[in-house]
Structure 1
Amino acid sequence: MDFYIISHTHWDREWHKTFEEYRVRLVIFFDNLIELLEHNPHYPSFMMDGQTIVLEDYLAIKPHKKQQLQQLIAHKRIIVGPWYIQPDEFIPGGEFQIRNLLIGQRIAAAFGGSMQVGYLPDSFGQAAQLPQLLQGFGIDYAVFWRGITEDECPDVDFIWRSADGSSVKTTVLAEGYGNARLLNDDPDNNVSIIKNNLAALYARSDKRNMLLMCGFDQRNANPLLPEIVKQLNADLPEHNFRIGALTDYLAAVFKQGDKKVVEGEFRKGKYMRVHVSIGMTRLDIKITNYHTQTQLQRMAEPLMSMSALFGQPYQHELIGQACKYILQNHAHDSICCVCTDSTHAQMMQRYHNAQQISAMLLQDASEYIGDHIAYKTQGTPLVLFNFSGSARSGYENVSFVTPAEDFTLIDSEGQPVDFAISAVSAINQNDAQIEIGQKNQDRLLYRYDMAIKVRFPGFGYQALYMIPRSMPQSEAKGQPLFNESTATFTTDFFTLTVQQNGALTYTDRATGEQFADLNYFIENGNAGDEYDYSPPVSDRLCHPHHGLPDIEVLHNSSLSAAVRLIFNFAVPADTGADKRSDETLDQRIACILRISKDSRRVDFCTTLHNQARNHRVCVTFPDNQPGRRHFAEQQYGMLYRENSVPDPDAWQREGWEERYYALYPQQRYMGFEHASGKVLIFNKGLVTYEINSDGATPVVSVPLICTMDYMGKQDLVDRPGRRSGLHVPVPDSLMPGDHTLEYAFMYLPSSEGDIAAEADRWQLPLLATTPRGKRGSLADAMTLFAVETPNISVMAFKRCEKGPGFILRLVNQLADKADDVQLRLNTTCFNRVRRATLNEQEIPGDMSFNALTGVIRVGRLQPNEIVTFIVDAF
Structure 2
Amino acid sequence: MKTVHLIQHTHWDREWYFTENDSQVLLYYFMEDLLNRLEADTSLGPFILDGQTVVLEDYFQFAPENRERVQALVAAGRLLIGPWYTQTDFLVVGAESITRNLLLGQLDCERLGSRMAVGYVPDSFGQSAQLPMFLKQFAIDHAVVWRGWSEYDTPFTEFRWRSLDGSCVTTAILPQGYGCAKWLQTDPHQAWPGLSEVLEKQAAFSRSTQLILPNGNDQSPFEYGVPAMLDALNTQQTVYRFVRSDFARYFEALESTPLDIFEGELLSPKYMRVHRGIFSTRMDIKQTNARLENFVSRQLEPLLSVSWSLGLPYPQQVVENIWREAMKSHAHDSIGGCNSDRVNAIVKDRLLSGQEKASQLFELNMQMLANGISAQQDGKKIIIFNALPSPRDGLVALTLYLPGEDFSIVDEQGHSCRWQILQETSQDMSVIVQELSNSPYPVFYRKCQILLDVLAIPASGYSTLYLQEGVPSCFTRSSSLTHVLENQWLRLTLEGDQVVLVDKRSGKRWDNLILLVDGGDAGDTYNYSPPEDDWRVTSEGSLQKAEWQHGALASTLMLNWSIAAPQTLEDRRQRRCNGLLDISMAITLTHQSPVLDMKVTVNNTLQDHRLQVHIPSEVCADMHFADQPFGLIRRENRPSTLDVWQQENWGESPASLWPMQSLVMMHDGRQGMCVVTDGLREYEIPDDRPSIMAVTLLRSVGWLGRAGMPWRPGRASGMALPSPDSQIPGEFHASLALVPMHDAESPEFWRSVERWRTPLVGWLDSGWARFKTNPHNLAFPSTYSLLRWDTPLHFSTLKKAQQGEALILRGWNPGSRELISPAPEANAILSEVALSEMQSVTSHNTVPACAPVSWRITPIIKG
TM interval, shorter chain, is over 0.9
Matched AA of 2:828: N
Matched AA of 2:696: P
Q: Which residue of 2 aligns with 1:779?
A: 781
Counterpart contact for 2:616–2:673, Cα < 8 Å: no
Counterpart contact for 2:594–2:752, Cα < 8 Å: no
Post-superposition CA distance 1:711-743 (Å, at most 9, x none): 111110111111101111011011111111111
2:504 to 501, 509, 523: 509
Counterpart contact for 1:493–1:598, Cα < 8 Å: no
Matched AA of 1:497: T
Q: Per-residue deviation at 1:530?
A: 0.5
After superposition, the CA RMSD in angstroms is 2.3
TM-score in terms of structure 2 length: 0.94
Aligned length: 849
Q: How does 1:172-251 map to 2 (within 5 A)?
A: 172-251=173-252
> Do the aligned partners of residues 863 and 842 (structure 1) sit closer, same or farther apart at CA in structure 2, a change above 3 Å counting?
same
Q: Per-residue deviation at 1:380?
A: 3.8
Distance 1:633 1:476 in 2: 42
> Do the aligned partners of residues 414 and 578 (structure 1) sit closer, same or farther apart at CA in structure 2, a change above 3 Å counting?
closer
Q: How does 1:707-856 map to 2 (within 5 A)?
A: 707-750=700-743, 753-771=747-765, 777-790=779-792, 792-819=793-820, 821-822=821-822, 824-825=824-825, 827=826, 830-843=827-840
Counterpart contact for 1:125–1:146, Cα < 8 Å: yes
Q: How does 1:45-124 map to 2 (within 5 A)?
A: 45-124=46-125
Matched AA of 1:838: L
Higher mean alpha-carbon deviation, 338-347 vs 644-653, is at 644-653
Q: Per-residue deviation at 1:799?
A: 0.7
Higher mean alpha-carbon deviation, 808-817 vs 395-404, is at 395-404
Matched AA of 1:613: Q
> Do the aligned partners of residues 549 and 493 (structure 1) sit closer, same or farther apart at CA in structure 2, a change above 3 Å counting?
farther
Q: Which residue of 2 aligns with 1:673?
A: 667
Q: Which residue of 1 aligns with 2:281?
A: 281
Q: Which residue of 2 aligns with 1:608?
A: 602
> Do the aligned partners of residues 437 and 155 (structure 1) sit closer, same or farther apart at CA in structure 2, a change above 3 Å counting?
closer
Q: Per-residue deviation at 1:547?
A: 5.3
Q: Helix, strand or coil for the counterpart of 1:652?
A: coil
Q: Which residue of 1 aligns with 2:696?
A: 703
Q: Helix, strand or coil for the counterpart of 1:549?
A: strand
Counterpart contact for 1:132–1:166, Cα < 8 Å: yes
1:686 to 680, 686, 695: 680
Q: Which residue of 1 aligns with 2:487?
A: 491
Counterpart contact for 1:371–1:772, Cα < 8 Å: no
Q: Per-residue deviation at 1:671?
A: 0.8
Q: Helix, strand or coil for the counterpart of 2:512?
A: strand
Match status 1:527 vs 2:513 = no
Q: How does 1:122-137 map to 2 (within 5 A)?
A: 122-137=123-138
Q: Which residue of 1 aligns with 2:561?
A: 567
Counterpart contact for 1:419–1:475, Cα < 8 Å: no
Q: Helix, strand or coil for the counterpart of 1:139?
A: coil
Matched AA of 1:67: E
> Do the aligned partners of residues 221 and 202 (structure 1) sit closer, same or farther apart at CA in structure 2, a change above 3 Å counting?
same
> Do the aligned partners of residues 491 and 674 (structure 1) sit closer, same or farther apart at CA in structure 2, a change above 3 Å counting?
same
Counterpart contact for 1:163–1:815, Cα < 8 Å: no
Distance 1:442 1:272 in 2: 61
Counterpart contact for 1:500–1:548, Cα < 8 Å: no
Counterpart contact for 2:8–2:46, Cα < 8 Å: yes
Counterpart contact for 1:15–1:343, Cα < 8 Å: yes
Matched AA of 2:103: L
Q: Per-residue deviation at 1:390?
A: 4.5
Counterpart contact for 2:377–2:414, Cα < 8 Å: no
Q: Which residue of 2 aligns with 1:459?
A: 460
Match status 1:634 vs 2:620 = no
Q: Helix, strand or coil for the counterpart of 1:291?
A: helix
Distance 1:173 1:567 in 2: 49
Q: Which residue of 2 aligns with 1:855?
A: none
Q: Which residue of 2 aligns with 1:868?
A: 854
Q: Per-residue deviation at 1:375?
A: 3.1
> Do the aligned partners of residues 79 and 578 (structure 1) sit closer, same or farther apart at CA in structure 2, a change above 3 Å counting?
farther
Counterpart contact for 2:520–2:535, Cα < 8 Å: yes
Match status 1:645 vs 2:639 = yes
Q: Helix, strand or coil for the counterpart of 2:511?
A: strand
Higher mean alpha-carbon deviation, 435-444 vs 70-79, is at 435-444
Q: Helix, strand or coil for the counterpart of 2:295?
A: helix
Distance 2:626 2:400 in 1: 34
Q: Which runs of 5+ in 1 are unaligned?
A: 848-857
> Do the aligned partners of residues 748 and 378 (structure 1) sit closer, same or farther apart at CA in structure 2, a change above 3 Å counting?
farther
Counterpart contact for 2:52–2:81, Cα < 8 Å: yes
Q: Helix, strand or coil for the counterpart of 2:108?
A: helix
Match status 1:585 vs 2:567 = no
What is the aligned-residue identity percentage? 29
Distance 1:436 1:225 in 2: 69
Q: Per-residue deviation at 1:443?
A: 5.8
Post-superposition CA distance 1:307-326 (Å, at most 9, x none): 01111111011101111111
> Do the aligned partners of residues 443 and 251 (structure 1) sit closer, same or farther apart at CA in structure 2, a change above 3 Å counting?
same
Match status 1:264 vs 2:264 = yes
Q: Which runs of 5+ in 2 are unaligned?
A: 768-774
Q: Per-residue deviation at 1:454?
A: 2.2
Distance 1:815 1:667 in 2: 16
Counterpart contact for 1:678–1:753, Cα < 8 Å: no
Q: Per-residue deviation at 1:240?
A: 2.0
Q: Helix, strand or coil for the counterpart of 1:217?
A: coil
Post-superposition CA distance 1:369-392 (Å, at most 9, x none): 222223313444322112233553
> Do the aligned partners of residues 548 and 569 (structure 1) sit closer, same or farther apart at CA in structure 2, a change above 3 Å counting?
closer
Distance 1:358 1:787 in 2: 26
> Do the aligned partners of residues 818 and 844 (structure 1) sit closer, same or farther apart at CA in structure 2, a change above 3 Å counting?
closer
Q: Per-residue deviation at 1:152?
A: 1.8
Q: Which residue of 2 aligns with 1:12?
A: 13
2:531 to 528, 536, 550: 536
> Do the aligned partners of residues 8 and 581 (structure 1) sit closer, same or farther apart at CA in structure 2, a change above 3 Å counting?
farther
> Do the aligned partners of residues 47 and 492 (structure 1) sit closer, same or farther apart at CA in structure 2, a change above 3 Å counting?
same
Counterpart contact for 1:397–1:450, Cα < 8 Å: yes
Q: Helix, strand or coil for the counterpart of 1:235?
A: coil
Distance 1:279 1:176 in 2: 22
Q: Helix, strand or coil for the counterpart of 1:474?
A: coil
Q: Per-residue deviation at 1:416?
A: 3.2
Q: Helix, strand or coil for the counterpart of 1:66?
A: helix
Q: Per-residue deviation at 1:793?
A: 1.1
Distance 1:843 1:510 in 2: 45
Q: Per-residue deviation at 1:21?
A: 1.3
Q: Per-residue deviation at 1:649?
A: 2.0
Counterpart contact for 1:489–1:495, Cα < 8 Å: yes
Counterpart contact for 1:408–1:475, Cα < 8 Å: no
Q: Which residue of 2 aligns with 1:327?
A: 327
Matched AA of 1:509: K
Counterpart contact for 1:430–1:440, Cα < 8 Å: no
Q: How does 1:312-391 map to 2 (within 5 A)?
A: 312-391=312-391
Q: Per-residue deviation at 1:435?
A: 5.1
Distance 1:437 1:285 in 2: 33
Distance 2:527 2:441 in 1: 56
Distance 1:144 1:675 in 2: 35
Counterpart contact for 1:326–1:351, Cα < 8 Å: yes
Q: Per-residue deviation at 1:469?
A: 6.1
